[in-house]
Amino acid sequence: MIDPVALLTHMLDIPSVSTQEAHLARFLVAQMSRLGFESFVDDAGNAVGIAGSGPDIVLLGHIDTVAGHVPVRVEGGRLYGRGAVDAKGPFAAFICAAARLAGSKALPGRLVLIGAVEEEAASSKGAKYAVTRYNPVACVIGEPSGWDRLTLGYKGRLLVDGIWKQPAAHSAGREPSAAERAVACWNAIVDHCTAYNDGRARLFDQLLPSLRAIRSWSDGLTEQAEWTVGVRLPPAISPDTLATTITGLAHGGMLQFHDLCPAYQAEKNTPLVRAFLKGIRVAGGHPGFVLKTGTSDMNVVGPVWQCPILAYGPGDSNLDHTPDEHVVIEEFLRAIDVLAIALRSLEEQDAGGGGARA
């Protein structure tokens, strides 16, 4: 057997900022191997554990984190540490639930646990590799939803870097400075989003812009300004469409778009959703649904796999990336119960056909 809190504590003790996950991946492979899983680090650097046989059910979490040290400790029934919520906690819950099912020989199929790399880096390297290797009949994404909530959708994303460069001029002149042109473009983007959002009450349906960074400087001969802007996209707007719109608002700047990712919303009436609703109710909860304004690996694998999919995991997503990141231990343990109940109740004939093409 495995001690869930000890496992997650060890995971939190191992730093795994995006692109630096190798140490944690090796640790997880060793732990899953000890539990009887077929375990390995794949060519992308993902930690993979496989148990059972039959149609693939993929449990896809991510083991990388953003930067910033949060001292690992237990206080007031809460376990603190970078990744406790986003998203080592959910992946630890996957491992513990799968181990419980394997021990009772109640596996619903071939469980494929994938601790993916570089989700936070926006490259989604681990998910993009996994999507070419498996063809599951169902997928659970490991992200914080709260133990009694299921996430069915994530907004899309567009990032753009802008540069404005021109000959230096006197500040009393009439020519707009490079900094003013950069700000004018940002303001035009905000105005476009505000106009689009008019009458759309749900955040999931809105364009949500954010100014990620901005700076300007001059060497006396040339002045330059640059910024990075991100926009979260609703399902109705594709990244390419918005990129075309923003290009028309450049105010003389040079724009470079990257990390374009469409929104994705999963079906609500599926055997997978019904299994998790049952799991939450049996564990004493009143289930609900969430649509997130962020982006996850669901956006990568959902459109390709076209199978029942949802995101689930313990933790409050409002604590993602914060200095106060922690998971309530009771919630973490209850999420493991929900996962075990839900996965045990999945019937292969309800999940559909398919299998691995690894």
> What are the pLDDT digits (tens) for 252-283?
999 999 989 999 999 999 999 999 999 999 99
Q: Is the pLDDT of residue 89 over 80?
A: yes
Q: Is-contact 162 254, C-beta < 8 A?
A: yes
Give residue 170's pLDDT band: very low, low, confident or very high (50, 70, 90).
low
Q: Is the pLDDT of residue 355 over 60?
A: no
Assess if residue 220 is contained within a domain.
Answer: yes
Residue 236, token pair as written in the block:
């109705």
User: Is residue 268 located within the same domain as residue 135?
Assistant: yes
64 is catalytic: yes
Give residue 168's pLDDT band: very low, low, confident or very high (50, 70, 90).
confident
Picking from 269, 189, 270, the residue whose alpha carbon sits closest to that of residue 232 is 189
CA torsion angle for 106, 271, 261, 301 (degrees, to 10)?
Answer: 40
Q: Give burial (CB, 10 Å; 0-12/13-18/19+) of 347.
A: exposed
Over residues 173-221, the pLDDT tens digits come to: 678 999 999 999 999 999 999 999 999 999 999 999 999 999 999 999 9
Rounded Cα distance between 6 and 220, Å, is: 59
Rounded Cα distance between 112 and 50, Å, is: 5
> Which H or E run contains 292?
strand 288-292
The DSSP code for 295 is -
Catalytic residue among 21, 42, 56, 64: 64
Identify the three-state secondary structure at position 154.
strand
User: Is residue 9 located within the same domain as residue 116?
Assistant: yes
198 is catalytic: no
Domain boundary, last residue among 240, 261, 282: 261
Determine how many CB atoms are found less than 10 A away from the CB of residue 349: 8
Give me the pLDDT at residue 171, please.
Answer: 64
Catalytic residue among 119, 226, 297, 325: 119
Give residue 347's pLDDT band: very low, low, confident or very high (50, 70, 90).
low
User: Is residue 133 located within the same domain as residue 268?
Assistant: yes
How many folded domains does the chain comprise? Answer: 2
Give me the pLDDT at residue 190, please.
Answer: 98
> Which H or E run contains 74?
strand 73-75
User: Is residue 233 located within the same domain as residue 310?
Assistant: no
Over residues 318-342, the pLDDT tens digits come to: 999 999 999 999 999 999 999 999 9
User: Is residue 94 located within the same domain as residue 110?
Assistant: yes
The DSSP code for 204 is G
Task: Transcribe 12-34 into DSSP letters.
Answer: HHS--BTT--HHHHHHHHHHHHH
Backbone angles phi, psi at 61, to 5 degrees: -115, 180
Assess if residue 356 is contained within a domain.
Answer: no
Domain boundary, last residue among 213, 234, 261: 261
Assess if residue 357 is contained within a domain.
Answer: no
Rounded Cα distance between 130 and 337, Å, is: 26
Over residues 55-79, the pLDDT tens digits come to: 999 999 999 999 999 999 999 999 9
Q: Structural domain of residue 239, as residue ranges?
A: 156-261
Q: Is the pLDDT of residue 354 over 50?
A: no
Over residues 286-322, the pLDDT tens digits come to: 999 999 999 999 999 999 999 999 999 999 999 999 9
Rounded Cα distance between 14 and 17, Å, is: 10
Give me the pLDDT at residue 309, please.
Answer: 98
Q: What is the CATH number of the domain that holds 183?
A: 3.30.70.360
User: Is residue 268 located within the same domain as residue 239?
Assistant: no
User: Is residue 48 located within the same domain as residue 102?
Assistant: yes
Rounded Cα distance between 187 and 174, Å, is: 20
Rounded Cα distance between 103 and 153, Å, is: 32
Give me the pLDDT at residue 357, please.
Answer: 35
Give residue 144's pLDDT band: very low, low, confident or very high (50, 70, 90).
very high
Give me the pLDDT at residue 105, please.
Answer: 86
> Which H or E run contains 110?
strand 110-116
User: Is residue 134 located within the same domain as residue 251?
Assistant: no
Give me the pLDDT at residue 353, please.
Answer: 42
Give me the pLDDT at residue 172, please.
Answer: 64
Q: What is the CATH number of the domain that holds 301?
A: 3.40.630.10
Domain boundary, last residue among 261, 289, 310: 261
> Which H or E run contains 197?
helix 178-197
Give me the pLDDT at residue 340, please.
Answer: 96
User: Which residues fall within 8 angstroms of residue 117, CB to CB, at 6 or more apart?
Assistant: 18, 19, 21, 25, 44, 45, 46, 62, 63, 64, 125, 126
pLDDT > 90: percent of the chain: 91
